[in-house]
Amino acid sequence: MKEYYLGLDLGGTKILTGLADKNGKILARSRKDTEAKYGEEKIIANMVESIEDVLAKTELKAEDIKCLGIGSPGPLDAKKGIIIENSNLPWKNVAIVDRIEKEVGIKTLLKNDANAAALGEKWFGAGRKVKNLVYITISTGVGGGAIINQELFTGVNDNACEIGHTVIDPDGPLCGCGNHGCLEAFASGTAIGRMAQEATAEGKSKKMLDLADNIIEDVDAVICAQAAYQGDQIAKDIFAIAGFYLGIGLANLINIFNTEMIILGGGVMKASDLFLDKALELMRENALAGPLEIVEIREAELGSDIGLMGAIAVAMEDRLIKNG
Amino acid sequence: MKEYYLGLDLGGTKILTGLADKNGKILARSRKDTEAKYGEEKIIANMVESIEDVLAKTELKAEDIKCLGIGSPGPLDAKKGIIIENSNLPWKNVAIVDRIEKEVGIKTLLKNDANAAALGEKWFGAGRKVKNLVYITISTGVGGGAIINQELFTGVNDNACEIGHTVIDPDGPLCGCGNHGCLEAFASGTAIGRMAQEATAEGKSKKMLDLADNIIEDVDAVICAQAAYQGDQIAKDIFAIAGFYLGIGLANLINIFNTEMIILGGGVMKASDLFLDKALELMRENALAGPLEIVEIREAELGSDIGLMGAIAVAMEDRLIKNG
């Protein structure tokens, strides 16, 4: 039997699928719209088509594929292969692993996207040389995944490392999870956008209002970043607030995980020069000397491939650990 | 060779040593004053005497002992067997494992006291039936230790699980570590004592002042607890504040570790009826549904034996994992 692996990154708008050899080298890719609005069956049909597409491109058959890894936003039950819920997809409790295995005849594994990304960066990205790392994605939300002694730390029911939902200021703003002052409520793209809208609504930033064509509802993290790059002090201050709390979050992770490396990824990191210095300053102030002195902070290396390479790493994890 | 184990709990005022059979049953004990004020050599001599004492009581010899475990406050380097510093003992960078091995001829292992206690509760206490737990000690400080898949999670250089020094409110009071708003600055015995002294100094609690014979400096967590039990509302409020922040700390741990059990120990837990309900309320409010539904909160079972049983568990860890 040949040894190939598939990875599928299930997003709210697109499905990215890749076929890799046993070294993780991508031989073929497919990109398909998720078409979430047409519902569960259509999404699954698109996933299957996407898989068949990469197989056809490489003239490989299902029996040549050792494993398919799926990365998906959660919450999900990785052990049972069930996506419990997904704010971007119109479904609940979908036994996606069973369905895909039946449709394509390939052994399938499921992980949440942040955990998959942590595996991707561990095996193919910035974390290749370390055995312990914490990956943080700073995106719409803030998520995380930890690798301990080469292996993904999943927790008892695949809910470990929800660092976006650790409270770092009980008087802080309301988070999507219902708490006040989670890391995600300060340092996510959503949080930055919320602070930017609030400041604009209060008349504090003409620049952001201009950039949003006077539509306050259109002010978001991207506009806030644009304004900051154009010198708008209010926009800069908002990123500094995000950096302040991110730095405390980093220190807390360092004091809890005592890890070798923290890798920062996610879309908001494209504007890292607006907040990372502040974050590192706070991190150094708040972390204990012992764990601080051995940790390295790195930016993710996989860029827009992180979801796909993460899904491939999910498929390959056993092999990678054995050979790693 | 017979198979016996030694545990030594090194405290600022006393050294507790125990000799256990291969099932962890204590066959002999010794208690000796640490005599910290006489310096390093005297402390080590007292440790050695204490070990010789339990050997003599059982008529066993060094060669009958498979391993000696030492539990000590940190920071320390467990791998190198070095106690780096200890606020209760007048020494720095003591290679305690080398010294003790040379003096008594028994293979020796060192862990920080919170990690040793986590091992003790895992193998001999409340955590016997689970494979994953987090132990929290609420005492002079707040410390922790995590067991993941039966094994102690040490981190890369033995600094993992410093949960007392995770910031949960950057505007909070100054902590001994130099940060503001660590869990320890809200929920430790020291923090409770500080809040009690402040309230007494502001004339808010005649009860606490009375209990301290009018000496504000003598107001501490014990007096605060006494006052609370006697109905003093200010003292009750102080414990409620500690409970509030402890609950947020518990929720954060649940969201990060996704563990089966959290075990609460340490001297402050003697007054748990003054703050635990509040802590559990906040924990349930702030933890995510997925990890919350599978976690159990328990009080430590080993009581005043936790240091000693922890040290014995350090000595026995390999055997316990193999048979566990």
Give pLDDT tens digits for A89-137.
888 899 999 999 999 999 999 999 999 999 999 999 999 999 999 999 9
CB environment B206-227: b (16+ within 10 A), e (fewer):
ebbbebbeeeeebbbbbbbbbb
pLDDT band at A226 (very low <50, low <70, confident <90, very high): very high
List the single residue in B155, B170, B260 with the smallest CB-CB distance to A291: B155
Mean pLDDT computed over A55-81: 94
Residues forming a β-bridge with A82: A77
pLDDT of residue B285: 96
The first and second tokens of residue A164, run together, are: 């976006």
The first and second tokens of residue B311, run together, are: 């040290």
Q: How far is A213 from chain B (nearest CA, A)?
A: 36
- Residues in chain B with CB shorter than 8 Å from the CB of A159 are 255, 258, 288, 290-291
The Cα A198–Cα A216 span in angstroms is: 9
Q: Kindly give, in sequence order, each residue whose CB lies less than 8 Å from that of residue B118, ignoring residues fewer than 6 positions away.
A: B133, B134, B135, B144, B145, B146, B147, B152, B161, B263, B310
Q: For chain A, what is the mean pLDDT?
A: 95
Contact B291 A251 (CB under 8 A): no
Mean pLDDT computed over A156-174: 94
The first and second tokens of residue A106, run together, are: 């390939």
The Cα A39–Cα A46 span in angstroms is: 11
Contact A259 B156 (CB under 8 A): yes
The Cα A199–Cα A210 span in angstroms is: 13
List strands edge to edge, sheet with B82-85.
Answer: B76-77, B82-85, B92-94
pLDDT of residue A1: 61
> Chain A residues within 8 A (CB-CB) of chain B?
75, 84, 132, 148, 153-163, 165-171, 177, 179, 244-245, 248, 251-252, 255-260, 285-286, 288, 290-291, 294
Residue B166 clears pLDDT 70, i.e. is over it: yes
Is the distance from CB of A144 to CB of A163 less than 8 angstroms? yes
The Cα B222–Cα A306 span in angstroms is: 53
Count of residues in chain A: 324
List the single residue in A159, A256, A258 with the smallest CB-CB distance to B290: A159
Residue B2 clears pLDDT 80, i.e. is over it: no
DSSP type of residue A167: B
- Of the CA atoms within 13 Å of residue A53, those in its CB half-sphere come to 17
Q: For chain B, what is the mean pLDDT?
A: 95
The Cα A127–Cα B281 span in angstroms is: 39
Instruction: Give CA separation, A21 vs A100, A182, A219, A285, B179, in Å.
Output: 21, 40, 43, 44, 49
The Cα A156–Cα A316 span in angstroms is: 21
- Residues in chain B with CB shorter than 8 Å from the CB of A153 are 148
Interval B36-47: pLDDT, tens: 999 999 999 999
Instruction: Give CA separation, A189 vs A90, A211, A270, B248, in Å.
Output: 23, 17, 11, 24
Total beta-carbon pairs less than 8 A apart between chain A and chain B: 131
Q: How far is B19 from chain A (nearest CA, A)?
A: 32
Ordered by where they begin, the domains of chain B are 4-120+305-323 (3.30.420.40), 129-300 (3.30.420.40)
Contact B256 A166 (CB under 8 A): yes
pLDDT of residue A167: 97
The first and second tokens of residue B85, run together, are: 């510093």
Query: Of A162, A151, A126, which is closest to residue A249 (Cα–Cα)?
Result: A162
Helices (H), chain A: 40-58, 96-104, 113-124, 184-187, 189-201, 206-211, 221-229, 233-257, 276-286, 289-292, 306-323
The Cα B228–Cα B236 span in angstroms is: 5
Q: How far is A226 from chain B (nearest CA, A)?
A: 29
B7 CA to centre of own chain: 15
The Cα A40–Cα A109 span in angstroms is: 19
| Share of residues in chain A with pLDDT > 70 (%) | 100
pLDDT band at A87 (very low <50, low <70, confident <90, very high): confident
CB environment A256-290: b (16+ within 10 A), e (fewer):
bbbbbbbbbbbebbebeebbbebbeebbeebbbeb
DSSP type of residue B321: H
| Share of residues in chain A with pLDDT > 90 (%) | 90
> Which chain B residue has its CA at the smallest distance from A290's CA?
B159
The Cα B212–Cα B203 span in angstroms is: 13
The Cα B131–Cα B147 span in angstroms is: 7
DSSP string of B37-93, one letter each residue: GG-HHHHHHHHHHHHHHHHHHHT--GGGEEEEEEEE-SSEETTTTEEEE-TTSS-EE
The Cα B182–Cα B165 span in angstroms is: 5
> Which chain A residue has its CA at the smallest distance from B175's CA?
A286
Q: How far is B95 from chain A (nearest CA, A)?
A: 17
Mean pLDDT computed over B229-255: 98
DSSP string of B63-79, one letter each residue: GGEEEEEEEE-SSEETT
List the single residue in A132, A156, A285 with the smallest CB-CB distance to B258: A156
Mean pLDDT computed over B310-314: 98
Residues forming a β-bridge with A71: A9, A111
Interval B17-36: pLDDT, tens: 999 999 999 999 999 999 99
> Helix %, strand %, coil % for chain A, to 5?
45, 25, 30
Query: Of A61, A57, A71, which is closest to residue A16 (Cα–Cα)?
Result: A71
Cis peptide before B75 (omega within 30 of 0): yes
B221-229 and B189-201 helices cross at what angle (nearest 10)? 70
pLDDT of residue B157: 87
Mean pLDDT computed over A273-290: 97
> Chain B residues within 8 A (CB-CB) of chain A?
75, 84, 132, 148, 153-163, 165-171, 177, 179, 244-245, 248, 251-252, 255-260, 285-286, 288, 290-291, 294
Give the Cα-Cα-Cα angle A275, A278, A282 (nearest 5 degrees): 135
Is the distance from CB of A219 to CB of A196 less than 8 angstroms? yes
Mean pLDDT computed over A9-27: 95
